Every structure is written in C-alpha cells, then in structure tokens.
Amino acid sequence: MIMKITITGSLGKISKPLAEILIKNANDVTIISNDPKKAKEIESLGAKAAIGSVADIRFLTQAFQGADAAYTMVPPNWKVPDYRKYIAQIGENYLQAIQASGVKRVVNLSSIGAHLSGGTGPIAGLYDVEQILNTLDNVDIKYLRPGLFYVNFFFDIGTIRKIGVMGNNYSGKTKLLMTHPRDIAAAAAQELQGSFKGKSHRYVVSDERDVAEVARILGTSIGNPELPWVQFSDDDTFAGMKAAGMSEAIAKVYVEMGRAIDSEILFEDFHRQEKFDWGSTKLTDFANEFAAVYKSLK
C-alpha cells in the first residue's frame, strides 16, 4: 500500500537512508529540514521538502497534516543550557502536532537506556519523550531504541591523532551495544510500512563488543592494531570535552552517560529479551568508514 509519510531529521544519518527506502517503495514522502538550502537535494531524492523547525508546533502540524504515518526524532542541539529540558520540549511539540494533525501512526527515535528515568545523560530526555507520547490516545507508536551509534567514534579521531589512544570514562571491559544508522533506517522503514498496533518499543542493535576490542578493530583499520582503550576519570573526561569546545552543561550530561555505560545499566533491559534479530552492519564493516574518515581528517 502506498502511504503518505512525513519524516523529521532532514537528510541526516538515519533520515536520508530512511527516505530512500520509502521512496523506492513508491511512498509519498515529505522531509522536514530547518535549512532552506536543503530543499533542492530533498526534491532530487523524490520527496517533498517542508522547511521549518521542530520548535514550531504550527509548522509541524501542517507538515504532519494528511500523513498516514510520521517518523519523529529530536535533532541534536548542543547550544541549549538544559539538554534534558530541550529534548522533552521537542517531545511536547510532537505531542501537540500529532494531536492537532490527526496522525495515527508514529515511529519515534528513542534510545537504548530509555527505560530508565534518569542517571543516563541525554537519554533521560528520550525517556521523557516516550512518557509524553504515551499519553496520546488512539495513536499507534513504535519507539525505536538503538544502541550507541558507531559514528560517535569519529569524535575519538582527535585523541587518537594527538595522544595515540581511544578513551572515555568507562572501562575497556565494558560491553557496548552499538548500531549503524543504516540499520536504524531499515528498521524505521519496516515499522512505518508495517502493521504494529498500540505502543511498544523495538531495540535496534547491530553488534556487541567490549570497548578494548572496539579500539583494536578500529585501530587495525588505521594501521594501529595495538591502539589502546584508556579509561579516563570523570574529571579528565569533562575537561577533555570542554577543551574540545563543548559547553559545561552538555559535557556534564555526557559524563553522566559515560557513567551509565560503565555500569552497564543502559543495556540491562535489552539483555532481558529472549530473542533478538541483530542489525546487519557489524563493527568490522563500519571500520572501513572509520578508516576513510580518519584518513580524510589528516
């Protein structure tokens, strides 16, 4: 069945491959971007461009009007003074726009760890969004809960070049659940075009490795198989993030997320599942992308 689908997230890491799948399947797709310069590229994909901000409820309502389904996500914004509040506010905006437009089917990008109400850094905001959207009556919602994006490791390239290590405030023994955005796009497309009912979540995870192994695999891809993982203190992690240009408020939130990763509480609900279909893009596949970006940033 051909559907009218509105997706947020512009031509971002998930939304672009998601739009490509939906368009290939002959759906009528509208893509929301906050940048008028993106309209041409969006149209050249075969979608309609809706230019405006997720901060604008009236705009969102118009963009959702008449859609059979919507994909909602919260764009990263590291300029805000209170990240949790910002994320929850965008969730509120989606609630209002979904109600006013009458969309009945939503796939919302959440995160692994969103079963926890706090102590998880930015993920606590996505917990809030799930709670806010759960108050919608007669709207079917699928919350996608991906693992940590492989692409986050691009942020390590500076440290690798400068001091020859990868690191964060969690130990090399920590087992990470990770996901490629492409696998999230595939899951989102499947759910948008599928037949779920009610409110439920779906984990989207592509690989699980301990962090020392992550360093070895990514190190090997750049000709350094001995690349070590170093656990930094919370204070050093905070200082490093600030030195890299992050605001104090955002660095604080990410240090908290690192602590939640170290304790593995983020992953406990995922491990309660008896059966799971893993995403197809493994860390070893991503290693090629990592090596290409590492080289290009010389």
Residues that bind ligand NAP (CB under 6 A): 9-10, 12-15, 32-35, 38, 53-55, 73-76, 109, 111, 126, 146, 148-149, 152, 181
Helix axes of 211-221 and 283-296: crossing angle, nearest 10 degrees: 50
* Alpha helices (runs of H) in the chain, residue ranges in sequence order: 15-24, 39-45, 57-64, 83-101, 123-133, 157-163, 181-192, 211-221, 234-243, 248-262, 268-271, 283-296
Instruction: Report the nearest approach of ligand NAP to the CB of residue 109 (Å).
Output: 5
In angstroms, rounded to a whole number, what is the distance separating the alpha carbons of residues 150 and 156? Answer: 11
**181/219 with CB nearer ligand NAP:** 181
Q: Which is nearer to ligand NAP, 90 or 217 (CB)?
A: 90
The residue at minimum Cβ distance from ligand NAP is 12
- Cβ distance 272 to 280 under 8 Å? no
**Beta-carbon neighbour count of residue 261 at 10 Å?**
25
C-beta of 15: minimal distance to ligand NAP in Å? Answer: 6
Say how many C-beta atoms besides its own lie within 10 A of residue 94's C-beta.
26
**Smallest gap, in angstroms, from Cβ of residue 223 to ligand NAP?**
26
Provide CB contacts within 8 A for 37, sequence distance 6+.
Answer: none
Instruction: Give the residue with the Cβ less far from ligand NAP, 35 or 43.
Output: 35
Residue number, 11 or 136, with CB nearest to ligand NAP: 11
Name 289's Cβ contacts closer than 8 Å, sequence gap at least 6.
150, 151
For ligand NAP, the closer CB: 27 or 89? 89
- Smallest distance from ligand NAP to CB 182, Å: 11
Q: How far is the CB of 195 from ligand NAP (least distance, A)?
A: 24
Query: What is the C-alpha to C-alpha distance for residues 205 and 293, in angstroms, rounded to an integer?
Result: 23
- In the complex with ligand NAP, the residue whose CB is nearer, 127 or 149, is 149
Distance between CA 152 and CA 55 in Å, rounded? 25
- Give the position of tokens 């008028």: 36
Based on CB atoms, which residue is closest to ligand NAP, 124 or 148? 148
Q: How far is the CB of 253 from ligand NAP (least distance, A)?
A: 12
Q: How far is CA 93 from CA 56, 58, 89, 96, in A?
A: 7, 9, 6, 5
Q: How far is the CB of 48 from ligand NAP (least distance, A)?
A: 14
